[in-house]
Amino acid sequence: MASESYGTRLQKFWAPNGWAFLWLVFGLMPLFFFQTFVHEGLHWLTAKLDGSDPNLIPFAHYNNSPGQMRNLNGITLNATGFVATPQIVGLLLMIGLIVIVIFTSPRARWLRTFLTWWYLGLILDLLFNTGRGLFDASNPLTDWGKFAAQYGHGLATFLSWVILLVVVSQLVWIAISSWHVNRPPGVGFFDYRGLAIAYGVVSLIAVIASWAINDPSIDRNWWFWLVFLGQIASFVWYAVYLYLARSTERSVAHA
């Protein structure tokens, strides 16, 4: 694999084989909840360290609290402290994952899958939150808009471009990365049972949290139901997949 071309390395980072890429797509709903939880959890931790009593709501909904009144992927109410903690920590985490990918090549398929999955989540989260900041057009109600107001629009715009450059830097560092060296061989469609279980656990937690957490500011509108039903559909799919994988295994064993 040491002689792989640049294009092959870039392609196989995201899609080591067709089934692996498909399962990256299958993991988008649990990734939505996981990264939202990480993002809002950082707000919650920042506020706790600041001596506040924050309220973590890590799921999609319409929030009718003063100063919000809009659809959100999640929110931490009563959050104080540094407003851009999720973005700055997310940037540092992404850089850390890039360093891992450049200098290491773990053999464990589950670890490679998790790191790629989370790397995608960090990219989506950071670009979603800072993309409009590239042109100093962030919504003033968002983290990045508040950061620009407090610390300067020039700094926010500069950091937005830094984040984008770190994201697109993959086009450069993939050429010297060691990630491809120990890439495990591809497996069949029904050999992703461990991943289906992990995804299913995350989606189940998302469903439970979305229904169990209540606050007067939460409006379970169409946005809530769209994401909520998406998590349920994902969980059902993982369960069906596990049943089909087990049935296929039994059929082969008795053939």
- Work out how many domains the chain is built from and give that number: 1
Angstrom distance (rounded) from CA 93 to CA 210: 26
The pLDDT assigned to 255 comes to 64
Kindly tell me if the per-residue pLDDT of 181 is higher than 60. yes
The pLDDT assigned to 249 comes to 86
- Within-domain flag for 159: yes
Nearest to 85 by CA among 33, 146, 28: 146
Kindly tell me if the per-residue pLDDT of 1 is higher than 60. no
Kindly tell me if the per-residue pLDDT of 253 is higher than 80. no
Q: Tell me the average pLDDT across 208-231.
A: 98
Angstrom distance (rounded) from CA 133 to CA 135: 5
The pLDDT assigned to 67 comes to 85
- Within-domain flag for 110: yes
- Within-domain flag for 254: no
- Within-domain flag for 112: yes
Task: Tell me the pLDDT band of 251, cut-offs 50, 70 and 90.
Answer: confident
Task: Tell me the pLDDT band of 190, cut-offs 50, 70 and 90.
Answer: very high
- Within-domain flag for 255: no
CB of 190 closer than 8 Å to CB of 249: yes
Angstrom distance (rounded) from CA 249 to CA 255: 10
The pLDDT assigned to 39 comes to 98
The pLDDT assigned to 124 comes to 98
Q: Determine the structural domain holding residue 56 and report its residue range.
A: 6-249
- Within-domain flag for 137: yes
